[in-house]
Amino acid sequence: MKVINSLLAICLFTLPAFAQPTHFECGTPPGADMERLEANLEAISSLEARSGVQYLPVTLTLLANDDGTGLISEDDALDGFCRLNENFEDLGIQFYMEGGLRYVLDSDFYLINSPNSQNPINLKIPNTINIFVSEIVTQGSQGGGCFGILGFYSPSSDYVAIDKCTVNDQSFALAHELGHFFSLPHTFLGWENLNYDGSEPTPEFVNGIRVEHADESNCAIAADRICDTPPDYNFGLGSPGCNYSGNAVDPAGNPVDPDEMNFMGYFFNCPSHTFSPIQGDIIHADIASRTFVNGSPNMATVNGAANLTFPIGGEITPDNNVTLTWDEVEGATNYLIEINRLASFSPGFLIQRTVTNTNSLQLSDLLTDTNYHWRVRPFNDTHTCTDYSEGESFKTGEVVSVVEIEGVESFNIYPNPSSGAEEILLEVNTSETLEAAIELYNIQGKLIRQFNHQFNGSSNLARIKTATLAQGTYIITIQTENGSVHDRLLINR
Ligand SMILES: [Zn+2]
């Protein structure tokens, strides 16, 4: 059993439900990458015909503070990665996590964009698409949080940063930032931080960038320079819906009709989004201009949910050290395990989340005599569109202590664990003659066998038939007039 990334996010405090962002705001500097865009537009005509799916390596880095606080919940990260792949499926592009989920617990990096933080460029893995999931600080504010800038692409450092509250809630945000990574500007380029004002004539330039006309007459030199994305004057900013009806006109007075569902606009409340055909070509031209590591993406789909096998149904475990087991899931190479105090898996009662690459997880030093609930989500480096299993539960046993009683010097069980032998032997050394009742209980506390035995003042052997006992843990008790001793017997068939 090996726990990869050996991260145990132990959360003793309630994780507040992330506040819904009022709107998505992207911090990619407008127009910073126009040379690359022009080069990609040029290269479209010489693109080779594509066939099959192109797999691109992503380094998905989850940032947290030194003590692990602030980490995104892995299921949000997996959901966000799933959405990203769904959003690029039509383009024949799929992303895979080169090296799996990557954790960086370093407070120096945690708050992205903060003047006190280090630049994540120092954490980049070369020749992969670097995505950092953390908290992004908006200039003028003290810390992170779900407001202001929630994602950006850095053209100078060539990485994408995405706020942890946006990865999952705003299904389009990560795809939007990847669009920037592949050199796409906003469809409303020039209008960043501006609101269209219908009471004023529409200008020919905003922020030094030519305003696009509705008749495509200047589409190759205006705004995003992409002719199959109609003019958009940042109509999506703050828009609660997906249908613009503001009657805006272009500088010539012609009505404009934006493409609300374009990934590179700001209408994030649309049910789905798309890239235009030319945007898709630009993305492919950009990919062709880059060098990526030659990894081995997992192309298998993860089929089905995890079937939890032990411990389940509220069964009582022998003590407070438990090894969780479940059946392997077809296509899965990793499992995310959540352990919670409540059956509702409420975030406030999270005990830990752990990722493993095997179908078992060893837990130690749980509280004794305590109920726990657990569930498992399978995934692989490419396919993360999966769900948790139904939850299962167990109760940790009392830690059984061998009570010293007068006259009993030692007490051993052979063999233990027993792999289905006909009987087991109790070896009891006594210093005096003792009348004893020997009892065998199952882990639920039900009496299974009982007989009386007299121990003489020396080494004694007593036999217990075990041929018909089911696999599991049992407690053996020896009761004497001086007190009782217990020990645990494991039948492992
Ligand atoms: Zn943007």
- Cis previous bond, 311, omega within 30: yes
pLDDT tens for the chain, residues 1 to 493:
333 333 333 322 323 333 344 567 888 988 888 999 999 999 999 998 888 999 999 999 999 999 999 999 999 999 999 999 999 999 999 999 999 999 999 999 999 999 899 999 999 999 999 999 999 998 877 666 788 888 999 999 999 999 998 887 667 899 999 999 999 999 999 999 888 999 999 999 999 999 999 999 999 999 999 999 999 999 998 788 899 999 999 999 999 999 999 999 999 889 999 999 999 999 999 999 999 999 999 999 999 999 999 999 999 988 888 999 999 999 999 999 999 999 999 999 999 999 999 999 999 889 988 999 999 999 999 999 999 999 999 999 876 555 567 888 888 888 888 887 788 888 888 888 888 888 888 766 678 888 888 888 888 888 888 888 888 878 888 888 877 777 788 888 7
> 268 CA distance to ligand 1 centroid (A)?
11
Report how far residue 301's alpha carbon sits from residue 77's, in angstroms, rounded to the nearest whole number.
18
Fold of 14-289: Collagenase (Catalytic Domain) (3.40.390)
308-396 fold:
Immunoglobulin-like (2.60.40)
Whole-number Å distance between alpha carbons of 432 and 421: 31
CATH class of 408-491: mainly beta
Contacts of 136 (CB under 8 A, 6+ apart): 27, 111, 112, 113, 144, 148, 149, 150, 151, 152, 161, 162, 163
| Distance in Å, CA 44 to ligand 1 centroid | 22
The per-residue pLDDT for 401 is 52
Centroid of ligand 1 to alpha carbon of 317 (angstroms): 52
Tokens of 108: 């120096």
Distance from residue 188's CA to the centre of ligand 1 (Å): 10
Half-sphere exposure of 246 (CA within 13 A, CB side): 21
CA of 264 to the centre of ligand 1 (A): 6
Calculate how far, in angstroms, residue 60's C-alpha sits from the geometric centre of ligand 1.
Answer: 19
Sorted by where each begins, the domain ranges of the chain are: 14-289, 308-396, 408-491
The SS3 call for residue 410 is strand
Instruction: Enter the pTM of the model.
Output: 0.79
**Cβ contacts of residue 475 below 8 Å, gap of 6+?**
400, 440, 441, 442, 443, 486, 487, 488, 489
3-state secondary structure of 203: coil
CA of 444 to the centre of ligand 1 (A): 58
* CA 252–ligand 1 middle distance (angstroms): 27
CA 160 to ligand 1 center in whole angstroms: 11
Distance 432 CA to ligand 1 centre (A): 84
Q: How far is the CA of 31 from the centre of ligand 1 (A)?
A: 11
> How many angstroms does the Cα of residue 186 sit away from the middle of ligand 1?
6
The span from the CA of 396 to the CA of 93, in Å, is 47
| Count of Cβ atoms closer than 10 Å to residue 143 Cβ | 10
Q: What is the CA(377)–ligand 1 centre distance, in A?
A: 32
**Cα-to-centroid distance, 359 and ligand 1 (Å):** 40
Q: How many A from CA of 152 to the centre of ligand 1?
A: 7
The two structure tokens encoding residue 181: 């990574």
Ligand 1 centre to CA of 121 (Å) is 19
User: Between β-strands 93-97 and 334-340, what pairing exists: parallel, antiparallel or unpaired?
Assistant: unpaired
Domains 308-396 and 408-491 alike in fold: yes
The span from the CA of 167 to the CA of 150, in Å, is 9
| Through-space distance between the first and last CA atoms of the chain, rounded to whole angstroms | 21
